[in-house]
Chains A and B, each alone.
Chain A
Amino acid sequence: MATNGQLPEELLRIPQPPAAKNWVRLWASITFALLLLGLYEALIGAPTEATMGIYQRIFYFHVPAAMIGFLSFFINFLASIWYLLKRSPRADALAIATAEVGLAFLSINLTTGPIWAKPVWGIWWTWDARLTLTLIIWVMYVSYIVLRQFTPSAELQPRLSAALGIFIFAAVPIDYMAIRWWRTQHPAPVILGGKNSGLDPHMYFAVLCCEIAFLALMATLVRFRYEQEIVKHWLEARRRGVLLTQGELGVTDQGPGIRS
């Protein structure tokens, strides 16, 4: 790690690990409050939809989960490019954090979808364009996580996964075309969808609440996961530093003490 980035040496000079600060608690509390508001708006606040009834309420979690999940994957793509340009461990930490969190959000989307579809369409799943595309993107990011787990070398992990991140992102537009030619059944977009689409203003408000709540949740989770990776790098750098000092002094029997 020390060879492909400036971070470990930089961290080595810091005696304490980059610990969670007080603002994290504040941030997490705000996220929690936003999620509660989103839940209230989705279940009680928003008016009941005319034809689908209460089943439509799952939409307030279903759509924001997809949007925030895809946003997370887009950040993963940017972080992959950032890693390839700068070889910074920070970029790699951001990439792994956004991939995992994006996968969690897309899993929410892919589970709420069938729950809605069963009463409304009468089937759990159909190989329609959007469903298929979402499922494929989900599978591709699972393979991204699998690659990291199967690659034992900590030096290779960031490089290979950055390359895969770019390959995956290149596949998305091609998938989009292929699947659209293949079939279509998903309801047409109601947000920014054209003339006859649209939502009740209160429904808009509920969607917006959930959207912001999920965005805050994504930021919190990514931040936690990112710091976890940085601490991992820090520990590794410290360990190497300690081994180095012991080697220089000829000390071999000194326990895992940390210089500070």
Chain B
Amino acid sequence: MSFVSLTLETVKRDLRLELRTREAMSAMLFYALLVIVIFSFAFEAEASLTTRVGGGLLWVAFLFAGMVALDRALGREQPDNCLAGVRMSPASRSAFLAGKFASSFLMMAVTEAILLPLFAVLFNAPPTAHWGGIVGTAVLGTWALATNGTYFSAMSNYARQRSLLLPLLLLPVSVPAVIAMVQATQVYLTGEGVAHYWLKLLFGFDVIYTVLGLLLADLVLEAE
């Protein structure tokens, strides 16, 4: 089987498992919704707040939701020692990791598609907001979180407290991506400033870490 078909098989398998159990998606949605609701109490959600820090609020919610998906990405392989089965197959580890990346990306994207309108309503997004730009930033930003997150999810898979280790590894390395996605979203929300160099930075981050993750996939997926 080729790299692409192996990747697609992994994605199909993950999505099938998710559709049957709905464990990640429902938790993600509810978790992110709670974050947004708590924010609106903590910061007095007004239109002025959204124009000042809307991008930050949105991405903190996305980040928390994404963490659930990324934790489940490899956590799903733990019961019945599934990962050992995957390791025994002659399929390339990079294709497996790429499949995990794609399925995490899809789950995060679906959650974000539901959250974005909710955010716009609850936080009174300004009418000047450029939604096309925000969606574009969300795609690039989710790509950044998913590619690093999948890799670190595999890396933390052997640890005693894997769910705790994942954010500790993912967040520091993702700081430049977080800065870029928040700034770009802020520009598109308020219509002030220039976003294109943030998007370029985000795209560069995505490409570098996708390549690095696929090249070093063997290191985190080899047998113990």
Contact = CB atoms under 8 A, between A and B. Distances in A.
A225 B180 CA distance: 38
Contacts of A147: 155-156, 159, 165, 168-169
Contact of B155 (A139, A155, A160, A181): A160
Nearest to B198: A181
A171 to B, nearest CB: 5
B165 A174 contact: no
Contact of B208 (A142, A146, A163, A174): A174
Nearest to B162: A150
A156 B212 CA distance: 19
A80 B126 CA distance: 48
Given A147-B165, A150-B161, A163-B220, A174 B212 contact: no
A219 interface: no
Given A152-B158, A159-B222, A163-B220, A174 B176 contact: yes
A113 to B, nearest CB: 19
Contact of A140 (B173, B212, B219, B220): B173
B31 to A, nearest CB: 23
B5 to A, nearest CB: 27
A33 interface: no
A166 B216 contact: yes
A174 B205 contact: yes
A73 to B, nearest CB: 13
Nearest to B217: A163
Nearest to B205: A174
Interface in B182-224: 183, 197-198, 201, 204-205, 208-209, 212, 216, 219-220, 222, 224
B160 interface: yes
Interface residues of B, number: 32
Given A150-B159, A151-B158, A178-B180, A160 B220 contact: yes
Contact of B172 (A139, A153, A178): A139
A125 B79 CA distance: 47
B78 to A, nearest CB: 15
Interface residues of A, number: 31
A138 to B, nearest CB: 9
A156 B159 CA distance: 10
B219 A160 contact: yes
A139 B167 CA distance: 12
Contact of B175 (A136, A152, A166): A136
B82 interface: no
9 closest pairs, A vs B, by CB?
A: A178-B176, A150-B159, A140-B172, A174-B176, A163-B219, A139-B172, A178-B179, A175-B176, A171-B173
30 contacts: A136-B172, A136-B175, A143-B168, A143-B169, A143-B172, A147-B155, A147-B168, A150-B161, A150-B164, A150-B165, A152-B158, A153-B224, A156-B158, A156-B224, A160-B219, A163-B155, A167-B151, A167-B209, A167-B216, A168-B173, A170-B209, A174-B201, A174-B204, A175-B175, A175-B176, A177-B201, A178-B179, A179-B179, A181-B198, A182-B183
Interface of B: 148, 151, 155-156, 158-161, 164-165, 168-169, 172-173, 175-176, 179-180, 183, 197-198, 201, 204-205, 208-209, 212, 216, 219-220, 222, 224
Given A171-B172, A174-B205, A177-B176, 6 more contacts: A143-B172, A151-B158, A163-B219, A166-B212, A171-B175, A174-B204
